Amino acid sequence: MKFDVYGRFRIEVRRENGQWVAYRIAPGKRVRINNLAIPEEIQTPAEIARYLDDLYHEAARPGRSVTVVA
C-alpha cells in the first residue's frame, strides 16, 4: 500500500515476515524507515492512513491529508 503524506512525501507499507515495514519512496528510490513501527492490530489502509496522520500531523498543510494512492 502506498500513501501520500500531505503532498510532501510518499510512504509504502508492506507486510514482511508478519510485520508492517515502511519505506519512504521517491523517483528511483525506496528507503526503509527503521524508526516507524506500525502496530500489528492495524490492518486496513484507512487505519494505516489514520496512524500515519497521527505520526506526521506536524507536517500537515491546510486542506491536505494522508491518502492512499495506487
Q: Identify the pLDDT of residue 61.
A: 87
Q: Which domain holds residue 47?
A: 2-69
The pLDDT-based confidence of 70 (bands split at 50, 70, 90) is confident
Q: pTM of the full predicted structure? A: 0.89
Q: What is the pLDDT of residues 11-63, one digit of tens each?
A: 999 999 999 999 999 899 999 999 999 999 999 999 999 999 999 999 998 99
The tally of domains found in the chain comes to 1
Rounded distance between C-alpha atoms, residue 46 and residue 61, angstroms: 19
Question: Across the chain, where does the E strand assignment appear?
Answer: 2-5, 9-16, 19-26, 29-32, 66-69
